[in-house]
C-alpha cells in the first residue's frame, strides 16, 4: 500500500490538504485528541504515518514511506538520499543570521573571527561561514536559540524566521538570509522510478493540482 510520511507541527494542516487534493483523506490526524500515529485513508488506497518534520526524510530514505512532506530546511541540513519532487509553496520561512539589535554587526561578515554562533542548523551555519571564509565556533542548541545572544553565550544565531516576532521580542534582528524554505514533497528514488503503488502518478496529480491552483490565484 502507498505509504506517506506526514510531518507533525506547523506543516501538518497544509500537508493533509495537499493529499486531500489528490483524493487521499488523512484528516483523522487533525481530530482533537488524536493519538494515532498511523492511519489508513478511508478508501484503503494509502496509509499515513505521523512523524516529526525532521524524521520524515529518514522514513522516506529507508523506503518505509514512499513519499513524504518536509521543510526544505531539513533537506538542506540533513542532506538525505531522497528525490525532491515538488515545491508545495506553503510553510514559508527564512533560515537567517540574527544578532542583538544593539550590536554593531549588520552582515555575517561583520562578526569578529571566532565569534560563537548558536544554532539548531549546525551544518547550514557551518557551510555559510565557511563560504565566507570566516572562522566561527558553532554552538549546537536545540531549543530557545534566541537565548544565545541574550545570555552572552553567542554573538549570533542562525535560526528559522517566519514572522520575526520571536526575534523582535528578544531584541534581535535578522542580518542575513541563508535561504528561503518551503514544504517539499520528497520520494524514495527507486519507488518513484518504478511508480510503486502509483507513487509517481500521485505526485504528477499533485503537480497538476498545484499548477491549476497557481493559474487561478
Q: Which residues bind a copy of itself (CB under 8 A)?
A: 8, 37-38, 49-52, 54-55, 58-59, 62, 64, 116, 139-144, 147, 150-153
Tell me the closest approach of the beta carbon of residue 171 to a copy of itself, in angstroms. 12
Least CB distance to a copy of itself at residue 170 (A): 9
In the complex, what is the shortest distance from the CB of residue 73 to a copy of itself, in angstroms, rounded to a whole number?
14
Sheet strands (E) in 60-136: 67-71, 83-87, 93-100, 116-119
Tell me how long the chain is: 217
Longest dimension (CA), the chain: 59
Cα separation, 16 vs 212, in Å, equals 18
For residues 44 and 152, which CB has a smaller minimum distance to a copy of itself in the complex? 152
90: Cα separation from own chain's centroid: 10
Query: Which lies closer to a copy of itself via its Cβ, residue 148 or residue 176?
Result: 148
Q: Which is nearer to a copy of itself, 41 or 176 (CB)?
A: 41
Q: H or E segment at 121?
A: none
Is 55 or 204 the residue whose CB approaches a copy of itself more closely? 55
Amino acid at each position: 500500500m502507498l505509504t506517506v510520511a506526514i510531518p507533525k507541527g506547523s506543516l501538518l494542516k497544509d500537508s493533509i490538504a495537499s493529499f486531500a487534493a489528490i483524493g487521499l483523506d488523512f484528516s483523522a490526524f487533525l481530530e482533537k485528541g488524536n493519538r494515532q500515529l498511523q492511519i489508513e485513508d478511508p478508501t484503503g488506497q494509502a496509509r499515513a504515518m505521523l512523524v516529526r518534520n525532521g524524521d520524515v526524510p529518514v522514513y522516506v530514505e529507508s523506503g518505509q514511506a514512499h513519499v513524504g512532506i518536509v521543510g526544505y530546511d531539513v533537506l538542506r541540513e540533513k542532506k538525505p538520499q531522497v528525490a525532491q519532487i515538488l515545491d508545495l509553496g506553503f510553510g514559508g520561512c527564512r533560515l537567517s543570521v540574527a544578532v542583538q539589535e544593539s550590536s554593531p554587526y549588520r552582515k555575517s561578515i561583520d562578526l569578529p573571527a571566532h565569534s560563537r554562533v548558536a544554532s539548531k542548523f549546525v551544518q547550514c551555519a557551518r557551510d555559510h561561514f565557511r563560504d565566507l571564509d570566516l572562522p566561527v565556533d558553532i554552538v549546537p542548541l536545540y531549543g530557545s536559540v534566541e537565548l544565545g545572544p541574550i545570555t552572552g553565550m553567542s554573538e549570533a544565531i542562525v535560526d528559522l524566521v517566519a514572522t520575526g516576532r520571536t526575534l523582535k521580542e528578544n531584541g534581535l534582528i535578522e542580518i542575513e538570509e541563508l535561504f528561503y524554505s518551503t514544504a517539499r514533497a520528497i520520494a524514495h528514488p527507486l519507488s518513484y522510478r518504478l511508480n510503486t503503488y502509483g507513487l509517481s502518478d500521485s505526485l504528477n496529480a499533485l503537480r497538476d493540482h498545484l499548477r491549476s491552483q497557481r493559474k487561478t490565484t
